[in-house]
Structure 1
Amino acid sequence: MINYKGYQNKKILVVGLAKSGVAASLLLHRLGAFVTVNDWKPLSENKDAQQLLDQGIKVICGSHPVELLDEGFEMIVKNPGIPYTNPLIKGAIAKGLPVITEVELAYQISEADIIGITGTNGKTTTTTLVHEMISKDQKKSYVAGNIGTVASEVAQIAHPGEAMVVELSSFQLMGIRQFAPAISIITNIYDAHLDYHASKQEYVEAKAAITKNQTENHYLIVNADQEELMDAVQHTRAKKVLFSTKRLMTEGISTDGEQIFMNGESVVRLKDIVLPGRHNLENIMAAIGAAKLYGVSNESIRAVLGEFAGVKHRTQFVREWNQIKFYNDSKATNILATQSALDAFKGPTVLLCGGLDRGNSFDELSASMSNVKAAVVFGETADKMAEAAKAGGVENIISVKDVKDAVHAAAESAESGDVVLLSPACASWDQYPTFEVRGDIFIDEVNKLK
């Protein structure tokens, strides 16, 4: 950890706790800042705030009073989940105060090599693959960010010559000022989080921000099959490394349908890759690019791809029961992710879907339901999901209360040889605090089947 002096004796407000807020507060306190923490949850119900209070950090809980801005803070560290429309955040920006997210702190103190990964879909799989490939090559690697440990915590223990592989959301990337990973990846861009972002353009710009501070000494690995994405990063100063699942290229990462090549060199045969699904080919190519740039051998890359079957909550095989295979894809929080999951299975499928209603329709999902023999719908979008399934030709549509009931309804509808797939196409927040909790409930209920 670099002993960063930039925060000594500075008044800094941390808005919003959870893991990233707690980590940022403790780090800033350690770096000599005068830290005030503000969280909406009352102190009596707020274990995180109580922990910080015990450390001598000032805590204000129960609301986000705009009057806090009168106390002369020099910077705001915002929890990524708090929107920029929050009155306190809007007021800070109006005053010209820097508003950053915790990953900026991680960058400022890190001595390790940072590999940053973003995109609408595939971030977690790609992040995990890069980490596994580096680790297989006998190099020290840490997973950080949206998966694993908070980035600013990892940055305090990672050493020079080690890698921090950081999954980054658009929410986090909107709050960077100097953050510049040695290697960055943008897997893809689709409509998502438009309830948070003011527009699709703002969302795309937030994703492209991963490369805005990169220099000629850095690399950007980017999906060449998406014109919108290529336009968004056209002004990067980083060396661009393109990947394509649709055409064979002499430079970058691509495939002839039998092998994956990087700069004309064969890296791995497709038949030796365990991870299923066409959508995962993008993730695999991006991961290969980062691993090769980091000096990982083809042997280590092949070894990982020959055994890596997926990450938890992303098309995760859970169990076979009565010759029915159950898969947990709870991390599919948008339509495209669920379409990709459905495309990965060619046989009869019982789809479990539904969740937070963000106001969008699910018409696009209908065309991907040709193999869906039954749809079990739940949550705020249950009726919309039922309409999409009906439009897709699904005749057996079952409405249930939640994921727990959905498992049992699916088990009754499925037959030998079928797949039961939890792939909600929605965020979990109408019923569950995170998609992980939703997925874990699915796993528990599947494992209880007798």
Structure 2
Amino acid sequence: MKQVKNFENKKILVLGLARSGEAAARLLVKLGAIVTVNDSKPFDENPSAQTLLEEGIKVICGSHPLELLDEEFAYMVKNPGIPYTNPMVVRAAEKNIPVITEVELAYLISEAPIIGITGSNGKTTTTTMIADVLNHAKQSALLSGNIGYPASEVAQSAVSNDTLVMELSSFQLMGIEEFHPHIAVITNLMPTHIDYHGSFENYVEAKWNIQKNMTSDDTIILNFNQELAKDLATKTSAKVVPFSTKEKIDGAYLEDGTLYFRGQAVMKADELCVPGSHNVENALATIAVAKLSGVSDEAIRETLTHFGGVKHRLQYLGEVSGVKFYNDSKSTNILATQKALSGFDNKKVILIAGGLDRGNEFDELVPDFVGLKKMVILGESAPRVKRAANKAEVAYLDAKNVADAAKIAFENAEAGDVVLLSPANASWDMYKNFEVRGDEFIAAFEAIKGE
């Protein structure tokens, strides 16, 4: 860990806890900062704050008092989920207090180079694929960032022979100043988090921050299936390496069922262990990173032919009586479910869908529903999902929850079929988050398998 002096003897406010806030607070203390943590959750219900207080760190809980900013803070380290419209963040800006996120801290102290991955869909899978390939090739890759391992925590123990493979959200990328990966990947850019960013243009701008400090010595890998990416490619100092499933390019591409890198065949697309056109894109991005990192075709192929996916992201659970189960609880929007269905033969799929009612119809999914063997529909949005199923002329059954849906789907399946949980909806009508929803599906699969 680099012993940077940026924060020594300076007052720093950490706004918001969760794992990244805890990690940032502890790191700043190690760097000699005078740290105050402010979190909205009451102290009595806040184990993280209690632990930090026991460690001698000042904590203020239960509210965000604006007068706190009357102290002379040199920086605010903001939890990524807190919007810039938050009164504390607005006041910090008014007082010219720099607002950063903990990935900036990670960069400043890291002895290891960084591969940064962002995008609207596929970034967790791609991040995991890249780390797995590098590790299989005996290059020490450490998962970090938005994937569940706070970057500022992982960076503390990383050495120069390691590589931080870091998933980055748009929220995190808005809070960087010097952050500088040597390789960056943008998987794709779709309209999402508009409620946070205010517009798609603002969202793209936040994502594009990943390359703002990159130079001609660095490389950014872009999805040339998107015209937007081709436009962005003209607006960076970094070398651009594209990937595409639609055209032969000077990068990673799909041609006649084979994945290539700059004219060299690497592996067959149907050798990928995870289904779906989106996973072909993820694999191409991974291949580009791997080849630029000196990984052999053999190591790439060996890794990707055994890659089982990421939990809750088109995760293969196994099969019972010839029926395969896939957990895609992370599919909380229409596009993600479209991508999931693209990897299967519809006539063998029983799809479990539905969840939080956000007021939108599902007409975009009608072409993707056509030919499904059956659907099992649940949640607040069920009437809207049923309208789309009717338009696609797909029969459906009702379920009261995910466990019930898994049981109903299995009872209506036969050998060779697939039971796919890919809800196309958020989980909050019935579950705390998509992980809880997915865990219930996993438990239901295990129960069915044990019967």
Instruction: Tell me: CA distance 1:73–1:427, structure 2 relative to 1, closer, same or farther (3 Å).
Output: farther
Give the superposition deviation at 1:362.
2.5
Q: Deviations over 1:131-184 (max 9, x none)?
A: 111111111111111224211111011110211101111111111111111100
Determine the structure 1 residue equivalent to 2:252. 253
Equivalent AA in structure 2 for residue 362 of structure 1: F
Determine the structure 2 residue equivalent to 1:63. 63
Give the superposition deviation at 1:290.
0.6
Determine the structure 2 residue equivalent to 1:207. 207
Whole-angstrom distance in 2 between the partners of 1:169 and 1:429 = 21
Q: Deviations over 1:331-364 (max 9, x none)?
A: 2122111101111110332222233444443321
Equivalent AA in structure 2 for residue 71 of structure 1: E
Q: Following TM superposition, where does structure 1 have runs of at least 4 consecutive aligned residues deviating by more than 6 angstroms?
A: none
Instruction: Tell me: CA distance 1:323–1:241, structure 2 relative to 1, closer, same or farther (3 Å).
Output: same
Whole-angstrom distance in 2 between the partners of 1:281 and 1:201 = 27
Whole-angstrom distance in 1 between the partners of 2:203 and 2:69 = 28
Contact 2:170 2:206 in 1 (8 A): yes
Equivalent AA in structure 2 for residue 447 of structure 1: E
Instruction: Tell me: CA distance 1:361–1:325, structure 2 relative to 1, closer, same or farther (3 Å).
Output: same
Whole-angstrom distance in 1 between the partners of 2:442 and 2:221 = 34
Contact 2:275 2:340 in 1 (8 A): no
Determine the structure 2 residue equivalent to 1:234. 234
Q: Deviations over 1:88-113 (max 9, x none)?
A: 22222232221111111111111101
Name the SS of the counterpart of 2:301 in structure 1.
Answer: helix
Determine the structure 1 residue equivalent to 2:370. 370
Contact 2:11 2:72 in 1 (8 A): yes
Report the count of equivalent residues.
448
Name the SS of the counterpart of 1:260 in structure 2.
Answer: strand
The alignment yields a C-alpha RMSD, in angstroms, of 1.8
Whole-angstrom distance in 2 between the partners of 1:296 and 1:264 = 16
Give the superposition deviation at 1:293.
1.0
Asked whether 1:193 is paired with 2:193, we answer: yes
Contact 1:204 1:232 in 2 (8 A): no
Q: List alignment gaps of at least 5 residues for structure 1.
A: none
Q: Deviations over 1:7-56 (max 9, x none)?
A: 01111111111111111111111111111111111111111111111111
Whole-angstrom distance in 1 between the partners of 2:151 and 2:309 = 22
Instruction: Tell me: CA distance 1:72–1:390, structure 2 relative to 1, closer, same or farther (3 Å).
Output: farther
Determine the structure 1 residue equivalent to 2:419. 420
Once the two structures are overlaid, the 10-residue window that deviates more, 305-314 or 277-286, is 305-314
Give the superposition deviation at 1:292.
1.1
Once the two structures are overlaid, the 10-residue window that deviates more, 42-51 or 384-393, is 384-393
Whole-angstrom distance in 2 between the partners of 1:445 and 1:216 = 51
Give the superposition deviation at 1:399.
4.6
Aligned residue runs from structure 1 range 428-447, under 5 A: 428-447=427-446
Aligned residue runs from structure 1 range 136-215, under 5 A: 136-215=136-215
Instruction: Tell me: CA distance 1:92–1:371, structure 2 relative to 1, closer, same or farther (3 Å).
Output: farther
Determine the structure 1 residue equivalent to 2:404. 405
Aligned residue runs from structure 1 range 280-359, under 5 A: 280-346=279-345, 347-359=347-359
Whole-angstrom distance in 2 between the partners of 1:260 and 1:433 = 39
Instruction: Tell me: CA distance 1:429–1:100, structure 2 relative to 1, closer, same or farther (3 Å).
Output: farther
Instruction: Tell me: CA distance 1:206–1:389, structure 2 relative to 1, closer, same or farther (3 Å).
Output: farther
Determine the structure 2 residue equivalent to 1:134. 134
Whole-angstrom distance in 1 between the partners of 2:90 and 2:124 = 31
Equivalent AA in structure 1 for residue 314 of structure 2: T
Whole-angstrom distance in 2 between the partners of 1:430 and 1:209 = 34
Aligned residue runs from structure 1 range 270-285, under 5 A: 270-285=269-284
Whole-angstrom distance in 2 between the partners of 1:80 and 1:224 = 28
Name the SS of the counterpart of 1:190 in structure 2.
Answer: coil
Whole-angstrom distance in 1 between the partners of 2:207 and 2:240 = 16
Contact 1:192 1:334 in 2 (8 A): no
Aligned residue runs from structure 1 range 59-138, under 5 A: 59-138=59-138
Work out the percentage of aligned pairs sharing the same amino acid. Answer: 54
Contact 2:143 2:164 in 1 (8 A): yes
Equivalent AA in structure 2 for residue 159 of structure 1: V
Contact 2:187 2:285 in 1 (8 A): yes
Q: Deviations over 1:303-337 (max 9, x none)?
A: 11222232221111113223322110112122111
Instruction: Tell me: CA distance 1:275–1:408, structure 2 relative to 1, closer, same or farther (3 Å).
Output: closer
Contact 2:313 2:331 in 1 (8 A): yes
Give the superposition deviation at 1:253.
1.2
Contact 1:129 1:284 in 2 (8 A): yes
Once the two structures are overlaid, the 10-residue window that deviates more, 119-128 or 79-88, is 79-88
Give the superposition deviation at 1:301.
0.9
Instruction: Tell me: CA distance 1:88–1:379, structure 2 relative to 1, closer, same or farther (3 Å).
Output: farther
Name the SS of the counterpart of 2:176 in structure 1.
Answer: coil
Equivalent AA in structure 2 for residue 291 of structure 1: A
Give the superposition deviation at 1:300.
1.0
Whole-angstrom distance in 2 between the partners of 1:412 and 1:126 = 34
Name the SS of the counterpart of 1:80 in structure 2.
Answer: coil
Equivalent AA in structure 1 for residue 147 of structure 2: I
Give the superposition deviation at 1:397.
4.0
Instruction: Tell me: CA distance 1:361–1:31, structure 2 relative to 1, closer, same or farther (3 Å).
Output: farther
Name the SS of the counterpart of 1:175 in structure 2.
Answer: coil
Name the SS of the counterpart of 1:221 in structure 2.
Answer: strand
Give the superposition deviation at 1:233.
4.4
Contact 1:208 1:233 in 2 (8 A): no
Whole-angstrom distance in 2 between the partners of 1:267 and 1:60 = 54
Instruction: Tell me: CA distance 1:261–1:23, structure 2 relative to 1, closer, same or farther (3 Å).
Output: same
Once the two structures are overlaid, the 10-residue window that deviates more, 89-98 or 435-444, is 89-98
Determine the structure 1 residue equivalent to 2:14. 14
